[in-house]
C-alpha cells in the first residue's frame, strides 16, 4: 500500500519539531563556570590578581559560598645579567569566597585568603606526576627534594631572602560585577576589584598596599552543552614593600576557556590564564606568565559542587611547575 504524505501535515509536523527542539534547548540553558584559578607564583601572589570570573551573574536573592585549597610546587634557578634568583618551595592558598546579588543585579564578591610558604612536601609526588604524563621537569632533578628558599639578588646583594616557613592571612579583595547583557546564547559583565593591604610583605602574604583592577567577562554557548568564555582586564598596583624598585605598577591579565557539560553532574574545562610581568626583570620567573588549567566540576546536587583542577606552566619557568586545586561551593536561594 502506498502512503501519500499530506504537504500541510508535513509542514505542521516540521513546525512542531522545531518548537520541540527550542523547548529542549531552553531547558538545557545554563551559565558557564570558569575554573577559579590564578597564578600562585609567590612573588605574584602578593598582588591583587583577580580570580577567573563568570560572565553570568547571580540574580536577586541568590548567593554563593565557596572554599578552595590550592597547592603549588616549584623550583626555579636563574642567573641573568646582574640578577640571581633561586625559588624552591611550596605555596598553599586557602580561599574563602562569598558572592551575592543586589536587587539591581549588581554582584559583590568577598575573598579572604590564607597563605603558607614551606618546604616541598609534594616534591616526590610532583616528580611521579611529571613522569606519568610526560611533562617537562625543568631543573627539578638537579636539586635535592624538600628544600625551602626564596632568594632574589641584584649584583650579589640580597633583595629578598626567605628561608624559613611562614604563614598568615593574605590580602582581602572586594569585587563588584555589573551585568551588561544576558541571553540564552551569550552573557557579558564588567568587573572591578579593590585589594586591601591586610597581608604581610615580610611573610610574603601581601604587598602592604592596595591594588585596583577592572576586567570584562564574556561567555558564549556555541553548541548544545558547549561554551567558551574569557576575561580580559587591567590592573594598577600600589607601591609594594617588597622589590619596589623592580615592581611594575600596570599589569594586563586575562583568561580564556572552553567548557563541556558531559552530563547533568559532570562539567569539564580547559582554561588558559595569562598576565603580563609584575616586575622589571630579565628572569623568566618575574616575567609574563601563561598557564593551562584542566579539570572541572562535579555537581553533588542542584546547590553544591566540587571543583578539581590541575594547573601547569606553559611558559616554563614563569610560574609554579604545577598547582593542584580542590574546591567546594554551596549556593543559596
pLDDT tens series, the chain, 333 aa: 433 444 444 443 443 343 333 333 334 456 889 999 999 999 999 999 999 999 999 998 899 999 999 999 888 899 988 999 999 999 999 999 999 999 889 999 999 999 999 986 655 665 555 566 565 555 555 555 678 999 999 999 999 999 999 999 999 999 999 999 999 899 999 999 999 999 999 999 999 999 999 999 999 998 889 999 999 999 999 999 999 999 999 999 999 999 999 998 999 999 999 999 999 999 999 999 999 999 999 999 888 999 999 999 888 888 888 899 999 999 998
Centre a 10 Å sphere on the Cβ of residue 333 and count the other Cβ atoms it contains. Answer: 9
Q: How far apart are CA 150 and CA 63, in angstroms?
A: 39
What is the model's pLDDT at position 14? 43
In this predicted structure, what is the pLDDT of residue 67?
Answer: 97
List, in order, residues 6 or more apart from 317 with CB less than 8 Å away: 76, 78, 138, 284, 285
pLDDT of residue 318: 83
DSSP state of 36: -
Distance between CA atoms of 97 and 250, rounded to whole angstroms?
Answer: 26
Please name each of the domains of the chain with its CATH number. 32-332 (2.40.160.40)
Length of the chain: 333
Please tell me the distance from the alpha carbon of residue 195 to that of residue 212, in angstroms, as a whole number.
Answer: 6
Mapped onto helix, strand or coil, the DSSP state of residue 303 is coil
In sequence order, which ranges of the chain are alpha helices (DSSP H)?
A: 7-27, 123-133
Write down the pLDDT at residue 22: 35
Between CA 243 and CA 36 the distance in angstroms is 28
Q: What is the 3-state secondary structure (H, E, C) of 70-129?
A: EEEEEEEEEEECCEEEEEEEEEEEEEEEEEEECCCCCEEEEEEEEEEEECCCCHHHHHHH
Strand, coil or helix: 16: helix
pLDDT at 126: 59
Amino acid at each position: 500500500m502506498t502512503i501519500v504524505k499530506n504537504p500541510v501535515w508535513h509542514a505542521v509536523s516540521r513546525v512542531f519539531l522545531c518548537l520541540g527542539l527550542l523547548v529542549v534547548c531552553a531547558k538545557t540553558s545554563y551559565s558557564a563556570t570558569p575554573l577559579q584559578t590564578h597564578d600562585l607564583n609567590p612573588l605574584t601572589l602578593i598582588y591583587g590578581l583577580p580570580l577567573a570570573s563568570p560572565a553570568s551573574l547571580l540574580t536577586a536573592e541568590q548567593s554563593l559560598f565557596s572554599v578552595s585549597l590550592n597547592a603549588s610546587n616549584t623550583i626555579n634557578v636563574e642567573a641573568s645579567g646582574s640578577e640571581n634568583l633561586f625559588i624552591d618551595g611550596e605555596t598553599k592558598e586557602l580561599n574563602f569566597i562569598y558572592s551575592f546579588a543586589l536587587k539591581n543585579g549588581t554582584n559583590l564578591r568577598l575573598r579572604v585568603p590564607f597563605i603558607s610558604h614551606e618546604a616541598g612536601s609534594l616534591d616526590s609526588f610532583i616528580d611521579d606526576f611529571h613522569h606519568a604524563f610526560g611533562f617537562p621537569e625543568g631543573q627539578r632533578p638537579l636539586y635535592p627534594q624538600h628544600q625551602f628558599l626564596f632568594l632574589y639578588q641584584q649584583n650579589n646583594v640580597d633583595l629578598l631572602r626567605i628561608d624559613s616557613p611562614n604563614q598568615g592571612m593574605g590580602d582581602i579583595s572586594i569585587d563588584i560585577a555589573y551585568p551588561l547583557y544576558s541571553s540564552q546564547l551569550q552573557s557579558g559583565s564588567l568587573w572591578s576589584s579593590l585589594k586591601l593591604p591586610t597581608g604581610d610583605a615580610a611573610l610574603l602574604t601581601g604587598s602592604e598596599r592596595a591594588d585596583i583592577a577592572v576586567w570584562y567577562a564574556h561567555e558564549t554557548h556555541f553548541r548544545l552543552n558547549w561554551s567558551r568564555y574569557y576575561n580580559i582586564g587591567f590592573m594598577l598596583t600600589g607601591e609594594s614593600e617588597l622589590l619596589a624598585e623592580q615592581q611594575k605598577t600596570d599589569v594586563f591579565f586575562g583568561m580564556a576557556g572552553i567548557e563541556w557539560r558531559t552530563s547533568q553532574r559532570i562539567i569539564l574545562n580547559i582554561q588558559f590564564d595569562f598576565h603580563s610581568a609584575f616586575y622589571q626583570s630579565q628572569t623568566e620567573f618575574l616575567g609574563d606568565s601563561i598557564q593551562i588549567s584542566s579539570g572541572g566540576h562535579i555537581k553533588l546536587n542542584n546547590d553544591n559542587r566540587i571543583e578539581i583542577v590541575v594547573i601547569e606552566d606553559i611558559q616554563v619557568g614563569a610560574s609554579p611547575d604545577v598547582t593542584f586545586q580542590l574546591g567546594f561551593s554551596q549556593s543559596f536561594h
